[in-house]
Structure 1
Amino acid sequence: MGRKLVLFLILCTAIRMQAQQVANLASPDKSIVLNVSLSAEGEIQYGVQKSGINVIEPSALGVLMKGHDFTRRMKLVTLAGPKQVLDSYQIQNAKKSNIHYQANQLTVSFVNDEQKKMDIIFRLSNDGVAFRYFFPWINGEEQVIQQEISSFCFNKKASAWLQPMSAAKEGWNHTYPSYEEHYSQDVAVGTMPPFHAGWVFPALFKTNGVWALITEAAVDEHYCASRLVNDSLSPVYRIGMPDPREVFTGGGSLPVNNQPWYTPWRIIAVGSLKTIMESTLGTDLAPAAILNDAAFVKPGKASWSWINSKDDYITFAEQKKYIDYAADMHWQYCLIDADWDTKIGYDSIKMLSDYAAGKNVGLLLWYNSAGDWNTVPYHPKDKLLTHEARIKEFSRISGMGIKGVKVDFFGGDGQSMMKYYLDILKDAAEYKLLVNFHGATLPRGWHRTYPNLVTTEAVVGMEMVTFSQEHANVQANHCSMLPFARNIYDPMDFTPMNLYKLTYSPCERKTTSAFELALSVLFLSGVQHYATSPEGMAMVPNDVKDFLRTLPDYWDDVMFLDGYPGKYIVVARRSGNRWYIAGINGGTTEKKISVDLTIFRKSMATLFMDGAKGELFSKSALNTAAQKKCDITMKVNSGFVMVVE
Structure 2
Amino acid sequence: TNGHLLADVNGSLTTPWRVLAIGPLKTVMESTLGTDLAAPAVAFDKAKLKPGHASWSWAILKDDATVFDVQKRFVDYAADMGWNYTLVDADWDRKIGDAKMKELADYARTKNVGILAWYNSSGAWNDTEYSPKSALLTKAARAKEFARMKAVGVKGLKVDFFGGDGASMLAYYVDLLKESAQAGFLMNFHGATLPRGWSRTYPNLMTVEAVKGFEFATFDQKDQDPVARHIAMLPFTRNLFDPMDFTPVVFGDIPNIKRATRNGFELGQAVLLLSGIQHYAETPDGMATVPAYVKGLLRELPRHWDEVRFLDGEPGKFAVIARRAGKQWFVAGINADEQPREVS
TM range (shorter): over 0.9
- Answering whether residue 211 of structure 2 is matched by residue 269 of structure 1, we say no
For the 8 Å contact 1:566–1:587, the answer to whether it is kept is: no
Letter in 1 for 2:32: T
For the 8 Å contact 1:563–1:569, the answer to whether it is kept is: yes
Q: 1:64 to 1:363 in 2, by over 3 A?
A: farther
For the 8 Å contact 1:287–1:449, the answer to whether it is kept is: yes
The TM-score, its normalising length taken from structure 2, stands at: 0.96
Q: 1:407 to 1:538 in 2, by over 3 A?
A: same
Name the CA distance, whole Å, in 2 between partners of 1:468 and 1:590: 27
Letter in 2 for 1:378: Y
What residue in structure 1 maps to residue 212 of structure 2?
460
- Answering whether residue 253 of structure 2 is matched by residue 533 of structure 1, we say no
What residue in structure 2 maps to residue 157 of structure 1?
none
What residue in structure 2 maps to residue 447 of structure 1?
199
For the 8 Å contact 1:315–1:343, the answer to whether it is kept is: yes
Q: How does 1:6-25 map to 2 (within 5 A)?
A: none
SS in 1 for 2:290: coil
1:387 to 121, 129, 139: 139
What residue in structure 2 maps to residue 524 of structure 1?
274
Larger relative strand fraction: 1
What residue in structure 1 maps to residue 313 of structure 2?
563
SS in 1 for 2:93: helix
Q: How does 1:556-595 map to 2 (within 5 A)?
A: 556-594=306-344
For the 8 Å contact 2:268–2:333, the answer to whether it is kept is: yes
Letter in 1 for 2:340: E
For the 8 Å contact 2:248–2:280, the answer to whether it is kept is: yes
For the 8 Å contact 1:456–1:491, the answer to whether it is kept is: yes
Q: 1:292 to 1:509 in 2, by over 3 A?
A: closer
Name the CA distance, whole Å, in 2 between partners of 1:358 and 1:293: 22
Letter in 1 for 2:158: K
What residue in structure 2 maps to residue 413 of structure 1?
165
Displacement of 1:292 after TM fit? 4.6
Q: Which has the higher contact order (CA 8 A, sep 6+)?
A: 2
Displacement of 1:269 after TM fit? 1.1
Q: 1:480 to 1:342 in 2, by over 3 A?
A: same
Displacement of 1:264 after TM fit? 3.1
Larger relative helix fraction: 2
Name the CA distance, whole Å, in 2 between partners of 1:299 and 1:439: 21
For the 8 Å contact 1:442–1:456, the answer to whether it is kept is: yes
What residue in structure 1 maps to residue 252 of structure 2?
500
Name the CA distance, whole Å, in 2 between partners of 1:435 and 1:417: 16
Q: How does 1:457-496 map to 2 (within 5 A)?
A: 457-496=209-248
For the 8 Å contact 1:370–1:381, the answer to whether it is kept is: yes
Displacement of 1:267 after TM fit? 1.1
SS in 1 for 2:308: strand
Displacement of 1:66 after TM fit? 5.1
Name the CA distance, whole Å, in 2 between partners of 1:525 and 1:546: 20
Name the CA distance, whole Å, in 2 between partners of 1:323 and 1:588: 37
Name the CA distance, whole Å, in 1 between partners of 2:298 and 2:232: 21
Name the CA distance, whole Å, in 1 between partners of 2:8 and 2:99: 52
- Answering whether residue 33 of structure 2 is matched by residue 285 of structure 1, we say no
Name the CA distance, whole Å, in 1 between partners of 2:214 and 2:183: 30
Letter in 1 for 2:252: Y
Name the CA distance, whole Å, in 1 between partners of 2:186 and 2:230: 28
- Structure number with greater Rg is 1
Displacement of 1:544 after TM fit? 1.1
For the 8 Å contact 1:487–1:524, the answer to whether it is kept is: yes
Name the CA distance, whole Å, in 2 between partners of 1:570 and 1:540: 23
For the 8 Å contact 1:294–1:451, the answer to whether it is kept is: no
Runs of 5+ unmatched residues, structure 1:
1-10, 12-40, 44-62, 69-115, 117-134, 136-144, 146-260, 595-645
SS in 2 for 1:430: helix
Letter in 1 for 2:192: A
- Answering whether residue 19 of structure 2 is matched by residue 67 of structure 1, we say no
Q: Percent identity?
A: 56
- Answering whether residue 242 of structure 2 is matched by residue 300 of structure 1, we say no
SS in 2 for 1:266: coil
1:363 to 96, 111, 115: 115
Letter in 2 for 1:547: L
SS in 1 for 2:79: helix
Q: 1:592 to 1:400 in 2, by over 3 A?
A: same
The TM-score, its normalising length taken from structure 1, stands at: 0.52
Letter in 2 for 1:67: V
Name the CA distance, whole Å, in 2 between partners of 1:276 and 1:460: 22
Q: 1:538 to 1:338 in 2, by over 3 A?
A: same
Runs of 5+ unmatched residues, structure 2:
none
Name the CA distance, whole Å, in 1 between partners of 2:307 and 2:139: 38
Q: How does 1:227-238 map to 2 (within 5 A)?
A: none
Name the CA distance, whole Å, in 2 between partners of 1:577 and 1:297: 22
For the 8 Å contact 1:265–1:285, the answer to whether it is kept is: no
For the 8 Å contact 1:368–1:408, the answer to whether it is kept is: yes
SS in 2 for 1:319: helix
Letter in 1 for 2:328: R
Name the CA distance, whole Å, in 2 between partners of 1:340 and 1:557: 37
Q: 1:341 to 1:480 in 2, by over 3 A?
A: same
Name the CA distance, whole Å, in 2 between partners of 1:516 and 1:509: 10
